[in-house]
Amino acid sequence: MTDNGSLAAATWAQVELARHPDRPYALDYIHALFSNFFELHGDRLYGDDHAIIGGPAAFDHRTVMVIAQQKGRTTAERAMRNFGMANPEGYRKALRLIRQAERFQFPIFAFVDTSGAFPGAGAEERGIAWAIAENLVALAQARVPIVTLVIGEGGSGGALGIGVGDRLLMMEHSIYSVAMPEACASILWRDIARKVEAAEALKLTAADLKRMGLADEIVPEPAGGAQTDYGVAADAAGAALRRHLGELEGLDVDQLLEQRYQRYRRIGAS
Amino acid sequence: MLVEPGSFNEEDQAITAKDVLGFKDSQPYTRRIEQSRATTGANEAVSWGEATLAGHRIVIVCLDFAFMGGSMGAATGEKITNGIERALQGRVPLLIISASGGARMQEGMLSLMQLAKTAAALGRLGAAGIPYISLLTDPTMGGVTASFASLADVIVAEPGAMIGFAGARVIQQATYETLPEGFQTAEFLWQHGMIDLVVPRPELPAVIRQLLDLYTRDGFHSDFELKGQARAAAQAAAHIRP
């Protein structure tokens, strides 16, 4: 195997770990980290999307607003959660929670884990792009600290739709990409089988994002991956969330928003 | 062109795409950039500048589908954001004309983050009360629709333009759904309440002018009357209403 080939194989192993079916999902982290999570339902417009969950939760001695993408464990739950691919209702429920977090001054923790927004006719009819875009603005302007943690897959605009914030943390074996490797291979090579090459070319591992200055911190996982020990993974995630939130809470809110604006403003600035 | 002849002062012409990731698919990204430069004579998939339209100073941002499918890379996002920030600083209305396949794969996450960057800048523009008109042309898809293109005060589209997030092929592969006739056309989006008006190109100058008059509180100067397809759309809207 060529150097490029072995590099690509190593990257693909990361993709498979990020998607490991036994990997802790958002609710696993939520139950481990928060003592009193109260899930809220519905976007107040059309429906309740189980691919995005959220609500207030107790973290240390404060209330935080949790917004998360949730995959299913069993076949029935996978169907119910639509494999973690949200429709517009999921993003609009998230928007409702963002507004509520601002009203009550709850910091926001977002847990990202999706291969992307749902590619369906109904999602298009109900304005999936509009729902995501509106969240990008709402998160950019929310007057509370926001810490984002990618726990598994960060897929494209569907991830970014709950993923804009003051800090981007990534679990060691998580990935975050402009498009999933299969989609990228289909677009650029017109051949899904080229997904391994695409994964390598996209630079989507936690280490890649840290190197590019897009991720602030890589949260270590137990040897072999988070699926081997949920407790260890959640402890590390909790410690990182606590530390970054602590730093952000020390900032004046206008300063916080200016920093958040500049965080994105400088990406790709010439 | 929409603006008054000779009034357009293009900015940032030197800003060009960079191959930060060393990306190569069937050919290297650097070669794709060179080819697009040769074809279009431009350094990126977007041009912007200040211009005059019907007596209004505006910032106009225009995407070019001929340059790598109008896809949004880091330099594209940078130029769009510079345009938005100029509109904010100068307190002049913003017009963005989109034609794009979405985010530019070859720039990976640097491309995706331009969605957040342009959206954040538009958030500031909106908060300052500066009007933004988005004109969607064929096609406007993916991350461009999911960021600046859909975040306008008024969205106008050209007849038949394909507009959406996921492409029809992707949707069919994922869901095996039979897609309705006219799926993701401008008219389809209008029926579903996602855009304000479908306007044929000859009528665009008058529509944009009327909007600029109204949103800069000069509404009484406008002598524009709805005609053609725009009028048909308005009548259809009235008819649908209970």
pLDDT in tens, chain A (270 residues): 456 788 999 999 999 999 999 999 999 999 999 999 999 999 999 999 999 999 999 999 999 999 999 999 999 999 999 999 999 999 999 999 999 999 999 999 999 999 999 999 999 999 999 999 999 999 999 999 999 999 999 999 999 999 999 999 999 999 999 999 999 998 899 899 999 999 999 999 999 999 999 999 999 999 999 999 999 999 999 999 999 999 999 999 999 999 999 999 999 986
3-state secondary structure of A170: strand
Q: How far apart are CA A68 and CA A150, in angstroms?
A: 10
Q: Name the nearest CA neighbour of A189 among A198, A180, A202.
A: A198
Q: In A, which residues are within 8 Å of B165 by CB distance?
A: 117, 119, 123-124, 128-129, 132, 157
Q: C-alpha distances in angstroms, A107 versus A146, A170, B19, B117?
A: 6, 19, 37, 22
pLDDT at B234: 56
Burial A69-106 (b: 16+ CB within 10 A, else e): bbbbeeeeeeeebbebbbbbbbbbbbbbbbebbbeeeb
Cβ-contact A60, A106 below 8 angstroms: no
B171 touches chain A (CB under 8 A): yes
pLDDT at B224: 45
Domains defined along chain A, listed by start: 3-262 (3.90.226.10)
Chain B: residue whose CA lies nearest to A262? B117
Q: Name the nearest CA neighbour of A169 among A224, A97, A112.
A: A112
Q: Tell whether B219 is covered by a domain.
A: yes
Cβ-contact A165, A260 below 8 angstroms: yes
A residues 157-196 lying closer than 8 A (beta carbon) to B:
157, 160-161, 164, 176-179, 183-184, 186-189
Q: How far apart are CA B53 and CA A198, in angstroms?
A: 44
Q: How far apart are CA B166 and CA B8, in angstroms?
A: 34
- Count CB atoms within 10 A of the CB of residue A238: 17
Are B142 and A160 in contact (CB < 8 Å)?
Answer: no
What is the pTM (predicted TM-score) of this model?
0.94
Angle between helices A195-202 and A3-18 (to 10 degrees): 90
pLDDT at B231: 55
Instruction: Tell me the pLDDT band of B2, cut-offs 50, 70 and 90.
Output: confident
Whether the predicted pLDDT of B159 surpasses 80: yes
Q: Tell whether B151 is covered by a domain.
A: yes
3-state helix, strand, coil in chain B (%, to 5): 45, 20, 35
Q: Tell whether B20 is covered by a domain.
A: no
Across the interface, which of A184, A202, A269 has its CB nearest the CB of B78?
Answer: A269
The pLDDT tens digits for B57-90 are: 999 999 999 999 999 999 999 999 999 999 999 9
Q: Tell whether B205 is covered by a domain.
A: yes
Residues spanned by the domain of B67: 46-240
The total domain count for chain B is 1
pLDDT at B226: 47
Whether the predicted pLDDT of B239 surpasses 80: no
pLDDT at A3: 67
Whether the predicted pLDDT of B233 surpasses 70: no
Are A119 and B174 in contact (CB < 8 Å)?
Answer: yes
Question: Looking at residue A123, what DSSP letter applies?
Answer: H
A residues 79-138 lying closer than 8 A (beta carbon) to B:
117, 119-121, 123-130, 132-134, 136-137
Alpha helices in A19-165 (DSSP H): 26-33, 75-80, 88-104, 121-125, 128-141, 156-160
Query: Which token pair is B178?
Result: 């039979």
pLDDT at B241: 40
Q: In A, which residues are within 8 Å of B150 by CB distance?
A: 127, 129-130, 133
pLDDT at B188: 98
Q: Tell whether B73 is covered by a domain.
A: yes
Mutation to test the A interface, candidates B24, B71, B165, most A Cβ within 10 Å: B165
3-state secondary structure of A158: helix
Q: In B, which residues are within 8 Å of A270 by CB distance?
A: 15, 75, 78
Q: How far apart are CA B20 and CA B23, in angstroms?
A: 8
Across the interface, which of B113, B150, B165 has its CB nearest the CB of A214?
Answer: B113
Whether the predicted pLDDT of B242 surpasses 80: no
Whether the predicted pLDDT of B154 surpasses 70: yes
Instruction: Tell me the pLDDT band of B230, cut-offs 50, 70 and 90.
Output: low
How high is the ipTM of this complex? 0.96
CA dihedral sign, ordered B47, B48, B52, B53: positive
List of residues 6+ apart from A177 with CB closer than 8 A: A154, A155, A156, A184, A202, A204, B108, B109, B112
pLDDT at A6: 87
pLDDT at B223: 45
Query: Which token pair is A179?
Result: 């498009």
Q: Give the CATH number for residue B146.
A: 3.90.226.10
Instruction: Tell me the pLDDT band of B225, cut-offs 50, 70 and 90.
Output: very low
